[in-house]
A and B are shown apart, each in its own frame.
Chain A
Amino acid sequence: MTAEPHVVTSAPISDEIRRTTCYMCACRCGINVHLTEGRVTYIEGNRDHPINKGVLCAKGASGIMQVTAPSRLRAPLRRVGPRGSGAFEEISWDEALETATAWMKPLRETAPEKLAFFTGRDQSQSLTGWWAQAYGTPNYAAHGGFCSVNMAAGGIYTIGGAFWEFGQPDWDRTELFVMFGVAEDHDSNPIKIGIGKLKDRGVRVISVNPIRTGYSAVADDWYGITPGTDGLFILSLVHCLLEAGKIDLDYLAQWTNAPFLVNATDGPEKGLIFKNAESQPFVIDRRTGMPAPWDGKGVAPDLGAALLGHRTVFQHLAEEYLKPDYAPEAVADRCGIAPWRIRALAAELAQAAFDKAFALPRPWVDFRGNHHEVMQGRPVSFHAMRGISAHSNGFQTARALHLLQIFLGSVEAPGGYRLKPPYPKPIEAHPTPHHVSVPGKPLSGPHLGYVRSPADLCLKEDGTPARIDKAFSWEAPLSAHGLMHMLIPNAHAGDPYRIDTLFLYMANMAWNSSMNSAQVMQMLTAKDGEDYVIPRIIYSDAYASEMVAYADLILPDTTYLERHDCISLLDRPISEPDAAGDSIRWPVVEPDREVRGFQSVLLDLGARLGLPGMVNEDGSPKFRDYADYIVSHQRKPGIGPLMGFRGTGEDQGRGAPNPDQIARYIENGGFYQAHVPEGAAYMKPWNAAYQDWAVGLGLYDTPQPYLFSLWSEPLRRFQLAAEGHGPRQPPEHLRDRLRQAMSPYPVWYEPAGEAAGEGYPVHALTQRPMDMYHSWGSQNAWLRQIKGRNVLYLPTAIWEGQGFQPGDYARVESPTGAITVPVAHMAALNPHTVWTWNAIGKRKGAWALAPDAPEAVEGFLLNHLISEVLPGPNRVPNSDPVTGQAAWFDQKVRLTRVGPRDAAEPQFPVLPDPPRAGGGRGANFLRKFGRFGGRGA
């Protein structure tokens, strides 16, 4: 035998590792970026980082291909041809910024609402919101309205915190985990790590989802529910638990408003919480049978009390959900789940919560001053995401799921669902929305917030919506994230008014981020005489997306490895249940093009416009760039974008600005954590130790204990308005739907898509894959090899029923439009549902892909089937009537087999190639490898 070849097993890895934060999706994992001779050569997860603990997903490890993508924009662009033609010329940054200033400055001085500033997937909303407030336009929001607001609002109005990434199951202690509509797109590495932990411990994982892929594929049991019926299914579980008395009465009595009395007197107070002479809610003390303060020490609230005919919230809820309407047999057909399956899941929930209950030996004191020797563990946990969020009944469905976990006593209990700082946070600690704009002045307060009653709506004196997206109007009263999906349709319709300049960041509204892409493209190019209906569009993006072609002025952004960012407690931090956390990005490589980080550009524009807070007294710019802002801006004295290393470097949370702060973050791996003391880690909304810790960190100024809102007064106030009470009244055409949707207790109602889609029997969904993020992935040479094609998956009943064959296409029709797309069979699917991967389809010519790329030929979007408005008069949004969340998943369709084809329809004209960086994988390959290796020049 000949000697084995010599193998080099211990070669140097790289010259240097720089630790920053990933942005291949919104997960915000820590990454180690390896550099060799100044080039990025490898990216791996940062083991010390709280979010990903060293692991990294398919996207994160492909970041190197994003930073070298040929689609990167190269320099500022000015449109020179018709809008949408893609004809641009490159201009200098000074010219670009002067142009933008010349457009924006006169608007600010005359009609600031004519500037609409909306941001897509950024993570700097505390900056962009502050900027828009200083400018004075009421028209600002980010993309949450078409993404997640049902989950955010449903959670915050109920438990003072939400699903998505704002909390997580107690992975180490839970004994049963149930997911509703959880796809793989958000908080993905933490959820994958968590599922791995559960599998390791042999804990059962259950998925409720029409589609059995990803997490649902590894789940131990699968409930292939019919879309839009989750709320009914959940309330049926509640019915079963009530019937058997398997609910946590002590938890309900102590930590929720279940023992409050509901006002039974007919009139404008009916259905509100019954108050005492001091306008305070109160409870009946079981020890005395007498009224007692809700927050009184030693009080034992009576869930079964009645006073003068006013009964407790608990009695109202129990009576409602015990009705036969919620029995498994009554809901089974609609949900597509057999009655015995619903009863079996209820039994499993009860078994986990009560038979596997445990006491965690951690003494604690609650806000009433009562001492507890242990923390009561309820090891059952839930998670939910877009599958329930993107329906027009999603807000109430999210509330129903929170009600279920509250009835089981598991929210914030050991083994249950745990919130991450700055949550828990009651409604009262959030601002209300502000909209009053005065030329030349800042807005009266923050744009977005949580309304308590119709008095907080953003309406003009004549009762019409103050905002272009009609957020916080009767169309969407609790639209805490705005309605970005209505921005362009409303501006085009001049409803409620016309605007002048549309200013967008990182939002592909001319393609997958609009509900109806084809119509929005027409709206963006529509003319009124000589002028465009939307006269000016300014857009910032790093890449040659579809939206770039529709802008008049392009402010090219950097990639995520070339910039500063701040993942802040003021916005959307990287906290864990046991630690508040924030982090930064920093330029681990310098851009080699004429591009600038958008946040620095925004501050530059602010200074040119002379916006308050962005200029010194002499008019000079206050901030050198975004990095300077991150370090030196103070939202309140001592409170800035980053909590770590404040003051002399030792202060946490509160402290003077520290010029070395970013350097300290870099040294620390790009993040900072403030750990929750062990005795404060659970029962946070009521745990005095947690409340004190949160005040010390600056999360609140005073302790903010609160009770969970099973019965929601804000909702009831809107329902009362719909019933005719109060000075502010909804328009007649919205009265009925408000009466239904604004129920103070969780309800299920049929999604609006059912009536809108009569004659269209099939549900059509999209999912985001784990290895692609929105439209960004397709420009990535590695990721597009994994998912460069999408097909419409058909369940067996449709596949066999219509005689589909491999290679076939189907014509898919909705009341709004039709598409013709490739199909494939999938048995692990709800029988009334078809689905595809989101945003794989691309417009020809975009993203620096060849026009014959599969994404542009056979790839497709469902968006062309979806309308922003419901059928009928008044342009009522195709959104949740409470929050305005885009009801993407309400979509109904019908299918016809059309046999084999070679391209999807519709097809749009090829977008001309804008000036961009070029290069990319091919050029890199030659440079790196020449022929048979060797380091190129």
Chain B
Amino acid sequence: MTTLPQTTGKKLGLVIDLDTCVGCQACVTACKGWNDQDQGRVKGLSDQDPYGAAPSGTFLNRVHSYQVTPETGPAQIVTFPRSCLHCEDAPCVTVCPTGASFKRAEDGIVLVNEDACIGCGLCAWACPYGAREMDAAQGVMKKCTLCVDRIYNDHLPEEDREPACVRTCPTGARHFGDFADPDSAVSRLSADRGGYALMPDLKTKPVNRYLPPRKKGAAQAAPLAPLLEIRASGFAGWLDRVLGKI
């Protein structure tokens, strides 16, 4: 079993705005593209049967879509991006028999040391969020790294030192930052908009926050009052009334 750090200096994570996410999947392939490079940082995310009957590959971030039928008003669709939440009490770490899964004391990012991973799959079983994927070709567990190879990378311009999914998100629904700092942009955004953790009753203490969709429906606009009863005054009366306003 692997132990978690007592505390972490930072609590890096994401805020994902479900009011703004249109489900475009941009974050899914930006993540795949970044993590599929074989540049010494990562070893790629394989795809099985890519042009065949049952294509199936490793993705560290997937977007799902759900239908919600409220008690009043029409049905709604909510799109929901799902990736590792970098939990403070990450059960995927404590369950790991080899120490391959670990949570960084420095910033709280949960990672897999692929050299030590034996591909037993216990962590995927322990994660209640389905955030880990076994790479079928490499036989090791893959997961969101919060782009640990981007956020501290001196080879990238300062503005690009953020996760690939955040950099690419066209609607700006994804935000990255430090939740340990109550004044950080992500902390304030989450506080302002009622950001919530997924399934808090499981006591995993996720770092990532989701912002709920805003209330939908009709606006509070006062109904328009007719200028006058057209049937009574006729079109000419209406015209005089309208043009008299000039």
Using a CB–CB cutoff of 8 Å, the interface residues on chain A facing chain B are 1-2, 4-5, 7-14, 36, 41-45, 47, 52, 54-62, 64, 70, 184, 188-189, 192-193, 195-197, 199-200, 204, 212-215, 217-222, 224, 240-241, 243-247, 249-250, 253, 286, 302-304, 315, 318-319, 322, 341, 343-344, 346-348, 350-351, 770-771, 779, 781-786, 788, 826-829, 848-850, 852-854, 857, 920-922, 925, 928-929, 931-935
Q: Tell me, yes or no, whether B221 is within 8 Å of chain A by CB.
A: yes
Bin chain B's interface residue count. Answer: 35 or more
Is B154's CB within 8 Å of the partner chain A? yes
**A9-B44 in contact (CB<8A):** no
Encode contact with A along B88-123: 1 for CB under 8 Å, 0 otherwise. Answer: 000000000001001011000001010110000000
Q: For A197, what are the chain B residues with a Cβ–Cβ distance below 8 Å?
A: 172
- What CA separation (Å) do A189 and B169 show in the bound complex? 9
- Do A196 and B172 touch across chains, with their CB atoms under 8 A apart? yes
Interface centre among B23, B26, B34, B43 (most CB of A within 10 A): B26
Task: Return chain B residues, CB-CB under 8 Å to A14.
Answer: 39
Given A243-B227, A348-B221, also A196-B46 (CB < 8 A):
no
Shortest CB distance B201–A (Å): 28
B155/A55 in contact, CB under 8 A: no
Task: Chain A residues near B169: list those with CB within 8 A.
Answer: 55
Q: Which of B113, B223, B245 contacts A343 (CB 8 A)?
A: B223
Could you tell me if B153 and A62 are in contact, using CB atoms closer than 8 angstroms? no
**Could you say which of A5, A241, A783 contacts B224, with CB atoms under 8 Å apart?**
A241
B137 interface residue (CB < 8 Å to A): yes
Q: CB-CB < 8 A to B184: which residues of A? A: none
Q: How far does the alpha carbon of A848 sit from the alpha carbon of B52 in the complex, in Å?
A: 9
* Min C-beta distance of A224 to chain B, whole Å: 6
Which residue in A9, A195, A771 is a CB contact (below 8 Å) of B152? A9
CA distance A727 to B110 in the complex (A): 79
CB-based closest 4 A-B pairs:
A827-B75, A192-B170, A781-B50, A244-B224
Q: Are A785 and B47 in contact (CB under 8 A)?
A: yes
Instruction: State which of B13-21, B125-133, B202-210 sits at the interface with chain A.
Output: B13-21
Task: Select which of A58, A70, A931 is within 8 A of B25 by beta carbon.
Answer: A58
Known contacts A1-B3, A220-B214; is A935 also within 8 Å of B38 by CB? yes
The residue on B at minimum CB distance from A343 is B223
Could you tell me if B74 and A828 are in contact, using CB atoms closer than 8 angstroms? yes
In the complex, the answer to whether A782 meets B32 with C-beta atoms within 8 Å is yes
The answer to whether B39 and A12 have CB atoms under 8 Å apart is yes
**Cβ–Cβ contact B148 & A9, under 8 A:** yes
B77 surroundings in chain A (CB, below 8 A): 212-213, 217, 828
Tell which of A5, A854, A932 touches B113, judged by Cβ atoms closer than 8 Å: A5
When chains A and B are docked, how far (Å) is the Cα of A12 from the Cα of B149?
Answer: 10
B33 touches A (CB below 8 Å): yes
Whether B22 and A770, one on each chain, are in contact in the complex, defined by CB atoms closer than 8 angstroms, is: yes
B residues bordering A, Cβ < 8 Å? Answer: 3, 5, 17, 19-26, 28-30, 32-34, 37-41, 43-44, 46-47, 50-57, 59, 65, 67, 69, 74-79, 99, 102, 104-105, 111, 113, 115-116, 137-138, 148-149, 151-156, 159-160, 164, 167-173, 213-214, 216-219, 221-227, 230, 235, 238-243, 245-246
A contact residues around B69 at 8 Å (CB)? 827
B55 touches A184 (CB 8 A): no
Assess whether B219 is in contact with A61, with CB atoms less than 8 Å apart.
no
In the bound assembly, the distance between CA atoms of A340 and B148 in angstroms comes to: 53
A2 to B4, CA, bound (A): 11
A781 in contact with B23 (CB, 8 Å): no
Beyond the given pairs A244-B226, A318-B242, 19 more chain A to chain B contacts, judged by CB atoms under 8 angstroms and listed by A's residue number, are A1-B3, A1-B5, A9-B153, A11-B41, A12-B40, A44-B30, A54-B168, A58-B28, A192-B24, A192-B170, A218-B213, A241-B224, A322-B230, A344-B218, A351-B222, A781-B51, A782-B29, A828-B75, A933-B44
Q: Which of B34, B115, B246 has the most CB of A within 10 A?
A: B246
Report yes or no: A853 in contact with B50, Cβ–Cβ below 8 A.
no
Q: Are A56 and B168 in contact (CB under 8 A)?
A: yes
The 25 listed contacts between A and B (C-beta, < 8 Å) are A5-B111, A8-B40, A13-B155, A55-B167, A57-B26, A59-B29, A61-B32, A61-B33, A184-B24, A189-B170, A196-B171, A199-B171, A213-B23, A243-B224, A244-B226, A245-B227, A322-B235, A341-B218, A347-B224, A348-B221, A770-B26, A782-B47, A857-B53, A925-B44, A934-B38
Inter-chain CA distance A200–B169, complex, in Å, is: 14
A460 vs B68: C-alpha distance in the bound complex, in angstroms?
58
Residues of chain A lying within 8 A (CB to CB) of residue B246: 249-250, 253, 286
The CA-CA distance from A70 to B43 in the complex, in Å, is 23
Q: Looking at the assembled complex, report how far the CB atom of A138 sits from the nearest CB atom of chain B, in whole angstroms.
A: 41
- Closest-by-CB residue of A relative to B169 is A55
Query: Which chain B residues lie closer than 8 Å to A218 at the CB level?
Result: 19-22, 171, 213
Q: Are B51 and A920 in contact (CB under 8 A)?
A: yes
Contact in complex: B225, A217 (CB < 8 Å): no
- A196 neighbours in B (Cβ, 8 Å): 20, 170-173
| Chain A residues closer than 8 Å to B51, beta-carbon distance | 70, 779, 781, 848-850, 853, 920-922
Contact A244 B221 (CB under 8 A): no
Across the interface, name the chain A residue whose C-beta is closest to B31: A61
CB-nearest residue of chain A to B152: A9
Q: Which residues of B contact A925 (CB under 8 A)?
A: 44, 46-47, 137
Contact in complex: A56, B26 (CB < 8 Å)? yes
Q: Is the CB of B20 within 8 A of A221?
A: no
Q: Is the CB of A45 within 8 A of B53?
A: no
Known contacts A184-B24, A218-B19, A921-B50; is-contact A58 B29 (Cβ 8 Å): yes
Instruction: Tell which of B79, B156, B167, B243 touches A217, judged by Cβ atoms closer than 8 Å.
Output: B79
Q: Which residues of A contact B25 (CB under 8 A)?
A: 57-58, 770-771, 786
**Contacts A12-B39, A13-B153: A304 and B24 contacting too (C-beta < 8 A)?**
no
Counting chain B CB atoms within 10 Å of each CB, the highest count among A8, A41, A70, A184 belongs to: A8
**Which residue of the partner chain, among A56, A215, A222, A788, contacts B55 with CB atoms under 8 Å?**
A788
A14–B37 alpha-carbon span in the complex (Å): 10
Least CB distance from A249 to B in Å reads 6
In angstroms, Cα B75 to Cα A2, docked, is: 52
Contact B17 A199 (CB under 8 A): yes
On whether A929 and B43 interact (CB within 8 A), knowing A42-B34, A61-B33, the answer reads yes
Q: Which of A62, A246, A315, A853 interacts with B52 by CB under 8 Å?
A: A853
- Residue in B39, B79, B115, B155 with the greatest tally of chain A CB atoms within 10 Å: B39
A344: which B residues are within 8 A, CB to CB?
218-219, 221, 223
Residue of B with least CB distance to A1: B3
B39/A41 in contact, CB under 8 A: yes
Residues of B within 8 A of A243 (CB): 224, 226-227, 230
Q: Would B22 and A212 count as touching, CB distance under 8 A?
A: no
Shortest Cβ gap from A936 to chain B (Å): 9
